[in-house]
Amino acid sequence: MNPLKFMESRLGRFSKKYRNLVLRTYVVTLRLVLTVAFPNMVAGIFYAILGKREKQYKAFLKGSKTWGRAVIKMTKTELIIKNEIQVPETGHLIFLNHVNEIDFPYDCLVVNRPYLANQVIKKTLIAYWWMKAMGSQVFETSKATTIAVSVRNVIKGLSTNSYIVYPEGHNSYSEIIQPMQKGMIKLAFENKIPVVVILKSGITRYQTEPMHTKVGYKFIGRYEPWTYGTWEAFRDFLYKTMSQAKIDLDAEIGTVRETTTVGPK
């Protein structure tokens, strides 16, 4: 599908200002690749040719930070880091709330780790290519065989990376934490992968007013899923923990929340 038509099909219910912001956010990646991020790309390609994957990933990860800085400048956003964002370099899944199309560049800037993404990321062209180059994986779920391969790839990849995961499984377009999906939580539980939780606040503001937004990030904690009796127990704990911490962070940032609530499935 043409990326512009894809965006229209996904974002048609939002204002023209928001659709334009999303378009600008992803188009700007081309300019960044040819300017401020160009040295990082050259270094990354050089290390890729030499087969030095860890150095390749670090070069592209460093370049990805320029995306977040560009969006901040473009939207005149105030970015607030509430505490030290403790991001392990290897062996962890990093759970973040997933809001909308604008949180990718901020996650690249603040968390700055590869992603475990679904197939939808392939629609973003340059951003997808760069995310793959910085060590991200696409977790294929089309068939049982592709899921098995994806799991093996994740376990192998954790020896050199930690991965950003969105446990809600989709854009929420909301400041309220949505029900947790089974996949990554069960993966962490069954394979004894520690989980780090980081939350963001204020991203929904872009959906109504693309300028002068206040966005906040906060490190919540590190958890060991296998210490819970079942993966469902860990899911429920995670949902309650993220929900309460998100309420607290919203209050600290001054983010206006919706009045509706949801609960774990």
How far apart are the C-alpha atoms of 163 and 154, rounded to whole Å? 9
**In percent, how much of the chain has pLDDT > 70?**
87
Q: Write down the mean pLDDT value for the chain.
A: 87
| Residue 112 pLDDT grade (very low, low, confident, very high; cuts 50, 70, 90) | very high
> In this model, does residue 132 exceed pLDDT 60?
yes
DSSP state of 125: T
Domain assignments of the chain as residue spans, ordered by start: 76-253
- Identify the three-state secondary structure at position 221: strand
Q: Quick one: pLDDT at residue 129?
A: 78
Is the distance from CB of 186 to CB of 156 less than 8 angstroms?
no
> In this model, does residue 249 exceed pLDDT 60?
yes
Q: Quick one: pLDDT at residue 26?
A: 85
> In this model, does residue 242 exceed pLDDT 50?
yes
Q: Report pLDDT digits (tens) over 170-225.
A: 889 999 999 998 889 999 999 999 999 999 999 999 999 989 999 999 999 999 99
Q: Quick one: pLDDT at residue 201?
A: 97
Q: Quick one: pLDDT at residue 15?
A: 82
Residue 250 identity: D
Give strand pairing partners of 116. Answer: 137
How far apart are the C-alpha atoms of 65 and 95, rounded to whole Å? 19
Q: What is the pTM of this model?
A: 0.88
- How crowded is residue 250: how many other Cβ atoms within 10 Å of its Cβ? 18
- Look at the alpha carbons of 254, 259, 263, 265 in this order and tell me if their dihedral is positive or negative: negative
| Residue 153 pLDDT grade (very low, low, confident, very high; cuts 50, 70, 90) | confident
Give strand pairing partners of 81. Answer: 217
Q: Report pLDDT digits (tens) over 85-100.
A: 999 999 999 999 999 9
Residue 170 CB contacts under 8 Å (≥ 6 apart), including other chains: 98, 178
Tokens at 62, concatenated: 């460093």
Task: Order across the sheet with 78-81: list the strands.
Answer: 78-81, 214-223, 195-201, 93-96, 163-165
> In this model, does residue 41 exceed pLDDT 70?
yes
Q: Quick one: pLDDT at residue 261?
A: 43
How big is the CA angle at 68 (ends 85 and 83), to the nearest 5 degrees? 20
